[in-house]
């Protein structure tokens, strides 16, 4: 009898996308979207990953994250999806599944790769015509309220000459020191404007 080997992603920084169950527009409303974003920062503040960029769209999200050295990417996504699902059901009384099973990921290889995926995340709300510019989208890292709360991206330092010779993925050196006080500080909750369409 053969057993399928479970895939565990290598350490590094990742661009991640996951969708809502049956692509329901769960996050077209402010309340569940606010809970999702709060969840992102909650688990970041607990040290499970660095959060570099994000965009919570009506039926999916995009992230740039670096899991902690002792946290696999799969586990980081369990925290995010499981934690947000629990809070949404608890606080809003939702009875249906929130997330589609699984996620799509891309391991960031270098600074240019990071820049391209960052730009994709920031421009996503405008591309989907939810807002005119990233600064106007209340549930994405382009909004001014998140400027001092995101973690800087630092390439992982190679641990050997062989690794240095390769174009390795950036990793989690910054997690050893943890997020700085400015990025860990909690802002007072503010009421974000409703998304386009009055949803």
Residues 114, 117, 119: CA angle, nearest 5 degrees: 105
9-38 pLDDT per residue, tens: 778 999 999 999 999 999 999 999 999 999
Residue 134: what pLDDT?
85
Name which residue leads in pLDDT, 163 or 133: 133
Helix (H, G, I), strand (E, B) or coil at 63: strand
β-bridge partners, 20: 99
| pLDDT classification of 188: cutoffs 50, 70, 90 | very low
Phi-psi region of 39 (alpha: psi -120 to 50; beta: other; left: phi over 0): alpha
CA–CA distances in Å: residue 183 to residues 47, 114, 188 = 12, 20, 14
Domain 14-184 fold: Alpha-Beta Plaits (3.30.70)
Q: What percent of the chain has pLDDT over 70?
A: 73
The structure tokens listed for 87 are: 């809070």
Q: Are 49 and 43 in contact (CB under 8 A)?
A: yes
Instruction: Give the residue extent of every domain in the chain.
Output: 14-184
Which of 195, 67, 180 has its CA nearest to residue 143? 195
Say which residue, 81 or 6, is predicted with more confidence: 81
d(CA 135, CA 128): 14
What pLDDT sits at residue 7? 57
């Amino acid at each position: 009898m053969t057993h399928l080997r479970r895939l565990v992603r290598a350490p590094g920084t990742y661009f991640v996308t996951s969708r809502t169950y049956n692509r329901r527009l769960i996050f077209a409303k402010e309340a569940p979207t606010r809970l999702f974003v709060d969840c992102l920062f909650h688990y970041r503040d607990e040290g499970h990953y660095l959060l570099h960029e994000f965009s919570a769209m009506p039926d999916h999200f995009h992230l740039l994250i670096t899991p902690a050295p002792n946290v696999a990417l799969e586990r980081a996504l369990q925290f995010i999806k499981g934690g947000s699902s629990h809070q949404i059901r608890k606080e809003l009384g939702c009875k249906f599944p929130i997330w589609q099973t699984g996620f799509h990921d891309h391991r960031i290889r270098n600074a240019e790769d990071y820049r391209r995926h960052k730009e994709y995340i920031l421009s996503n709300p405008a591309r989907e015509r939810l807002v005119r510019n990233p600064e106007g989208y209340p549930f994405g890292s382009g909004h001014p309220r998140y400027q001092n709360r995101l973690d800087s991206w630092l390439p992982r330092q190679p641990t050997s000459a062989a690794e240095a010779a390769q174009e390795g993925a950036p990793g989690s050196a910054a997690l050893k020191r943890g997020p700085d006080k400015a990025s860990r500080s909690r802002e007072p909750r503010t009421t974000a404007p409703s998304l386009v369409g009055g949803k």
